[in-house]
Structure 1
Amino acid sequence: MKAARTYLTASALAIGLMSTSALAEELRFTVWSGNEAHLKMLNGIAESFKATHPDVTVKFETIPAADYTQKLTFQIAGGNPPDLGWMMEDAAPTFEKAGVLMDIGPSVKAAEGYDFGDLSQAAMGLWQDGEKVYGIPFSTSPFMIYYNKAMFDEAGLDDPLALAAKGEWNMDKFQEVANKLTEANPGKWGFEFKDGEGYASRVMHALMPPIRAYGGDAWANGECGFDKPEAVAAVTQLHDMVFKDKSIVPPGEQGDYFSGNSAMTINQISRASKMPEAGFEWGIAPLPAGPGGESPVIGQAAIVVFDQGKQKDLAAEFVAHMTNKENVATMAQFFPPARKSVLESDAFINSNKLIPADQMKNLGAAIAAGKVLPSHEKSPQILAAMAPRIDGLWKADANVEESLKAVCAAIQPLL
């Protein structure tokens, strides 16, 4: 009899374990950052979700940025979408038009204390269609110039932040100091495109800041802008810096600003997390102005829920949790927020211990005045059509104007 009681107890325990296992749920969340500091922060936010959802875990899956949109598309087409994920601004119209994103508006608006009206309407532009909400921006991040202050000091040059304070930080001065820094540091360069990838996967990040500074754009109102005089002048200057001045890291070589091999680069605030490894004094400054004035360029990313996901309602609840005021304030150290209350707070200005408050203030000003990178519902096709024509641009003997005309000829039918 005693043995029977023991057997029943063990059976009951097994059933209980099975029941607990069945209740446990896992959300798959794709991101493009594998940075330790970012993932630690994200996992902390996921852990806090357990206060209201004790049986839910969130698994963050890293896909490299260069492959992110393509691999995400393959997962969706293959019937294995994540539950939710980050999405880049250029892909937003494509995924919205394809009908693969869930309208998360009802979920986030119904979340206790969420305050949907606190989200900047300008920041929400790409992610809303009438009352439908397809994403909540977690990062509305202006591109900034990162500079190696030690290299500027050694060359006897004012750094970009000092030049900006004097009203002298423009495209001509940018070219001048990049050239002088290269001459003062044999074997190194004055400037490197974002993460050393400006000739292929990051080409829009390389081209848009100078084109906007000159008063141009990639496209507007269905018309290509690459062949307009403003864009031609901007890209000609870049081409000269690469092949005549030799002050920008050329195609096929790796300058690596973070290792001290380039004096300047362009990036967003999230990359400050890499700077403790750099081993040199550094700073951030606004993008150089140009004939078109100061033209901050914004890179934006949002959290979306995939409509084919297995747990989309739960995923939408997690979006509401992740983008509430408390967690947006936590993420603001790396990802400038879309919430007005956080962006305007002293807490945001002092949120990143790596960056002085006076430099963080520049971020707020850039967000207020900036314009998001170009996007289009046919962005994948446009970028694919651009690629071989852009490749032809990055040769020493390239005719910049003709190359940009070829870009427009290729993409105009898609616009």
Structure 2
Amino acid sequence: MKAWKQAGLPVAMAGLMVALAACGSTNAANGGNNANKPANTEAADTAQAGGDESAAANEQANAAANPQKEPVKVVWWHSMSGELGKAVTQLVADFNASHPDIQVEEVYQGTYDDSLNKMKASLDSKSGPSLIQVYEIGSKFMVDSKAITPVQDFIDSENYDVSNLEENILGYYTFDNKLYSMPFNTSNPILYYNKDMFKAAGLDPEKPPATYEEVKNAAKALTKDGKTGASFAIYGWFMEQFFANQGAEYDNNGNGRTDTATESLVNADAGVKTLTWWKDLVDSKVALNLGRKTDDTKKAFLAGQIGMTLDSTASLRGIVDGAKGKFEVGTAFLPKPEGAGDGGVVVGGASLWIMNNKPADEQKAAWEFIKYLAQPDTQAKWHINTGYFPITKKAYDEQIVKDNMAAYPQFKTAVDQLHATKLSPATQGAVMGVFPEARQIVEGAIEEAFGGQKDPKAALDDAAKAITEKIATYNKTVQ
């Protein structure tokens, strides 16, 4: 409206000048003599002209005092590519259309590691983002960087209600009772199995294995006719999950949550028991070793070459769709040893962090975008388009989520597993600044055990030592 008034001002002034010119012509025709014009009419004309000039002046003053405000720009760095990237683009477009005072610019920055490295390089120049998506194992670095504003600050300032957000998801990103970042894309691992192969092997397809021992027995029965019982990718994330599922901590000092972690516990009984079982599956030839990539185990599973595999809940839709017309996919909780203590799964994925080297209004605008992403309807769209968990329980009340659950009933396993998890330091997940390196070291230890270079205990002892050394080096840099 202000822009319209400003644009209309020259038109109004032009009209006024035309009217005055017309009066001048008439007066000239009458010899310039106003004697014949009634005095009250002349006074009215003068008053009208003065009023128009006064209104025009007021409009100019108002326009100067209230200039059109530019929307606050929020630059969001993320690592979602392919179909996930398209889903991100749509979320941003929907937000921008409904929030004219804020405009979010989403920028794909490559892998999580690539994006984090670019962020580190941008800290001094302030050329980095307002908001950044960081994978869960980068959380300790983000806290230690002191380059972020905890979302708890915004939560507290406006009494934002977090009661409908999933406790087991918030738990990962909560340190010293403070939520530092807002979860965004969240997943956990589940067991996928081929129900048709189970039937053919004489196994009950409605009773998937729940323990290490049951997995081995099922794998033996499934290994026949050129097919193999199972294959689990050599992925450090799985070892972390096996620990949590036994209620065991991965690092000392309460998984690095009661105090800074100083020692890796990957060689504890939970780790040795897991690697010994895993190696036995491979040595017994009831499980294939297909290396570190989950894409390779997924392809083997969809080709009907293996009967069981582990993968993220975020892969569920793709796996179920990929098996259509070939076999029925079953899903089950992550297995654990017989008699293991209470535990559960650790959430994977990433969260959103607000950078503190940006102006206050920009940080506030980033928070507004975060709140939009956490809304039930937004989370519902994100969930059905990607397979990631909704971070809010209310999203399950949305009709599109109910319809999606009916189409993909296997996803109930993932939701049930999340809700069955008892929040503890073990299931909150370990916290250490060298987590990416630690994951690589553990994967190397698993390979050494599979290859026979070291027995499981020795491989994990060496891995724990190497990780502990890296933790010590890192801790010195942030003290």
Q: Same fold (TM over 0.5)?
A: yes
Amino acid aligned to 2:308: M
3-state secondary structure, aligned to 2:459: helix
Indicate conservation of the 8 Å contact 1:243/1:250, yes or no.
no
1:7-43 residue CA offsets vs partner (Å, 9 max, x unmatched): x9xxxxxxxxxxxxx957764434444342x344433
Tell me, yes or no, if structure 1 residue 412 matches structure 2 residue 468.
Answer: yes
Query: Given the superposition, is the C-alpha separation of residues 367 and 70 from structure 1 closer, same or farther in structure 2, using an over 3 Å criterion?
Result: farther
Within a 5 Å distance, the mapping from 1:213-362 to structure 2 comes to 213=245, 216-221=248-253, 222=261, 223-251=263-291, 254-255=296-297, 256=299, 257-275=301-319, 276-279=321-324, 280=326, 281-291=328-338, 292-293=340-341, 295-300=343-348, 301-308=350-357, 311-333=362-384, 334-342=387-395, 351-356=404-409, 360=412
Query: Given the superposition, is the C-alpha separation of residues 407 and 129 from structure 1 closer, same or farther in structure 2, using an over 3 Å criterion?
Result: closer
Q: Which has the higher helix share?
A: 2
Query: Is the deviation greater in 256-265 or in 384-393?
Result: 384-393
Indicate conservation of the 8 Å contact 2:228/2:306, yes or no.
yes
Q: 1:206: which partner in 2? A: 238
1:322 offset after TM fit, Å?
0.9
Tell me, yes or no, if structure 1 residue 364 matches structure 2 residue 420.
Answer: no
Indicate conservation of the 8 Å contact 1:243/1:396, yes or no.
no
| Larger RCO of the pair (alpha carbons < 8 Å, separation 6+) | 1
Query: Given the superposition, is the C-alpha separation of residues 90 and 156 from structure 1 closer, same or farther in structure 2, using an over 3 Å criterion?
Result: same
Amino acid aligned to 1:245: K
Indicate conservation of the 8 Å contact 1:143/1:296, yes or no.
no
Q: Distance in 2 between matches of 1:177 and 1:307?
A: 52
Tell me, yes or no, if structure 1 residue 192 matches structure 2 residue 231.
Answer: yes
1:71-104 residue CA offsets vs partner (Å, 9 max, x unmatched): 4223432455333233222211111111232333
Q: Distance in 2 between matches of 1:308 and 1:393?
A: 46
1:359-379 residue CA offsets vs partner (Å, 9 max, x unmatched): 516523433415244332342
Structure 1 unaligned runs (5+)?
A: 1-7, 9-21
Query: Given the superposition, is the C-alpha separation of residues 143 and 343 from structure 1 closer, same or farther in structure 2, using an over 3 Å criterion?
Result: farther
Amino acid aligned to 1:406: D
1:409 offset after TM fit, Å?
1.8
Q: Distance in 1 between matches of 2:275 and 2:373?
A: 39
Query: Is the deviation greater in 212-221 or in 138-147?
Result: 212-221
Q: Distance in 2 between matches of 1:214 and 1:232?
A: 12
Query: Given the superposition, is the C-alpha separation of residues 278 and 181 from structure 1 closer, same or farther in structure 2, using an over 3 Å criterion?
Result: same
Query: Given the superposition, is the C-alpha separation of residues 154 and 385 from structure 1 closer, same or farther in structure 2, using an over 3 Å criterion?
Result: closer
Rg larger in structure: 2
Tell me, yes or no, if structure 1 residue 48 matches structure 2 residue 90.
Answer: no
Q: 2:454: which partner in 1? A: 398
3-state secondary structure, aligned to 1:179: helix
Q: Percent identity?
A: 18
Query: Given the superposition, is the C-alpha separation of residues 309 and 144 from structure 1 closer, same or farther in structure 2, using an over 3 Å criterion?
Result: farther
Tell me, yes or no, if structure 1 residue 151 matches structure 2 residue 207.
Answer: no
Structure 2 unaligned runs (5+)?
A: 1-9, 11-68, 254-260, 473-479
Q: Distance in 1 between matches of 2:378 and 2:414?
A: 22
Tell me, yes or no, if structure 1 residue 77 matches structure 2 residue 116.
Answer: no
Query: Given the superposition, is the C-alpha separation of residues 390 and 277 from structure 1 closer, same or farther in structure 2, using an over 3 Å criterion?
Result: closer
Query: Given the superposition, is the C-alpha separation of residues 352 and 40 from structure 1 closer, same or farther in structure 2, using an over 3 Å criterion?
Result: farther
Indicate conservation of the 8 Å contact 1:209/1:295, yes or no.
no
Q: Calculate the TM-score normalised by the size of structure 1.
A: 0.76
Tell me, yes or no, if structure 1 residue 90 matches structure 2 residue 137.
Answer: yes
1:252 offset after TM fit, Å?
7.5
Q: Calculate the TM-score normalised by the size of structure 2.
A: 0.67
Q: Distance in 2 between matches of 1:136 and 1:400?
A: 37
Indicate conservation of the 8 Å contact 1:104/1:135, yes or no.
yes
Query: Given the superposition, is the C-alpha separation of residues 290 and 352 from structure 1 closer, same or farther in structure 2, using an over 3 Å criterion?
Result: same
1:143-184 residue CA offsets vs partner (Å, 9 max, x unmatched): 21122223323333223xx225xxx62111111222332324
Q: Distance in 2 between matches of 1:259 and 1:308?
A: 50
Q: Distance in 1 between matches of 2:201 and 2:181?
A: 46
Amino acid aligned to 2:240: M
Q: Distance in 1 between matches of 2:269 and 2:379?
A: 41
Query: Given the superposition, is the C-alpha separation of residues 56 and 348 from structure 1 closer, same or farther in structure 2, using an over 3 Å criterion?
Result: same
1:306 offset after TM fit, Å?
3.0
Q: Distance in 1 between matches of 2:367 and 2:313?
A: 27
Tell me, yes or no, if structure 1 residue 115 matches structure 2 residue 147.
Answer: no
Amino acid aligned to 1:237: W
Indicate conservation of the 8 Å contact 1:392/1:398, yes or no.
yes
1:271 offset after TM fit, Å?
1.1
Indicate conservation of the 8 Å contact 1:140/1:338, yes or no.
yes
Query: Given the superposition, is the C-alpha separation of residues 214 and 114 from structure 1 closer, same or farther in structure 2, using an over 3 Å criterion?
Result: closer
Q: How many residues align?
A: 378
Query: Given the superposition, is the C-alpha separation of residues 364 and 262 from structure 1 closer, same or farther in structure 2, using an over 3 Å criterion?
Result: same
Q: 2:180: which partner in 1? A: 134
